[in-house]
Amino acid sequence: MLRSKIGGIGYYVPEKVVTNDDLTKVMDTSDEWIKERTGIEERRYGIKHKETTSTMGARAAEIAIERAGIQKEEVDFIIFATLSPDYYFPGSGVLLQRELGITKTEIGALDIRNQCSGFIYGLSIADQFVRTGMYKNVLLVGAEMHSMGLDFTTRGRNVTVIFGDGAGAVVVQPTEEENQGILTTKLHSDGTYAEKLAFINPGSHGGYHSKHTGEEVDYGYSDAEYGDIFLNQHMLDNAQIFPNMEGQFVFKLAVQKFPEVIMEALSEAGLEKKDIDMMVPHQANLRISAFVQRQLGLRDDQVWNNIQKYGNTTAASIPIALCEAVEAGAVKRGDLVCLAAFGSGFTWGSALIRW
């Protein structure tokens, strides 16, 4: 039976290291406060005007392509997952294609917006394409350049201290080996509480969704002769152009959904918690990872965490962490690897891979 495997994997993080102490120079926070709440000690920031989401993705992709044993021109489809694209449109997939110099092949490029779950969603899509025989070398990239859109004041510290920049990439290829490849992927969403973790403005909503939240929020839109204003001073003054998060709400939902979606995947594959050799969770918060680890009864050496070094890199976090684990020899051929993510939307998902 034809199934898909990860044939090559790579990651890229910028050289610039930003420590917690560095952030204390621009906002009222402390190293202790950040580590206690998130586990983060430092993160990476891209070089402005020289690095972008798509260029970082390209650097990770080049490594993954080389390790997959193919030429760039053999990639026959691109999937790009990010919440911080270079442009509002077009998506980063075509920019990655251009950066890699493979525009002549005119392959398709798909951009997906599933935030922290973006890589899992992308992996599921790539898996289906390969299983059906439609494509043989699907390049999946998760990349983020958060540093270009964060509020570097005390007002924004609860969100800003969490995020970092980086990129990870895999090449998904077919395999007929029985004991190798992606066993299953599980995807879920619930938009009920979408605004609990969201980037509200600029946007086309015009305040419409307040009827769902039940909150009287002044989004700064006013009726004008030729329609509503896309971006105005009110939005700037009230920090509506930055991401907002209700941390406790997100935390409580995450620790519920993470174990659920992992157990769902194990059940479908006829496996149990004890069969997991390595879990690579989305790097959202070290406390969330620790909670899930306890729920699954896993040892410290069975869970790969690197949020301490890189912060939350959203769609890039799982491929970066997985690549690190592979390079460190912590993931070996035949190991059962479990990937899981939860994030804005809310969306969540899991994947089981026999490495």
List residues with catalytic annotation: 116, 282, 312
Q: Which of left, alpha, beta for 220 (phi over 0: left; psi -120 to 50: alpha)?
A: left
Query: Is the separation of the CB atoms in 30 and 41 below 8 Å?
Result: no
- Element (H or E) spanning 134, and its range? none
Q: How far is CA 164 from CA 49, 77, 147, 172, in A?
A: 17, 27, 7, 26
Q: What is the DSSP letter of 330?
A: S
Which of 114, 111, 54, 79 is CA-nearest to residue 341?
Answer: 114
Name residues whose C-beta falls within 8 Å of residue 121's C-beta, 6 or more positions apart in sequence: 81, 112, 114, 187, 347, 349
Q: How far is CA 171 from CA 61, 72, 249, 347, in A?
A: 8, 11, 35, 23
Q: Residue 108, class by beta-carbon neighbours within 10 Å (0-12 exposed, 13-18 middle, 19+ buried)?
A: middle
Which of 283, 344, 318 is CA-nearest to residue 84?
Answer: 344
Q: How far is CA 210 from CA 152, 205, 215, 231, in A?
A: 27, 10, 6, 18
- Quickly count: other Cβ atoms within 10 Å of residue 26's Cβ: 12
Query: What is the three-class DSSP state of 42?
Result: strand
Continuous H helices in 191-339: 210-213, 233-237, 247-269, 286-296, 307-310, 317-327
Query: Is the separation of the CB atoms in 107 and 75 below 8 Å?
Result: yes
CA angle 57, 343, 307 (to 5 degrees): 60
Query: Is the separation of the CB atoms in 166 and 13 below 8 Å?
Result: yes
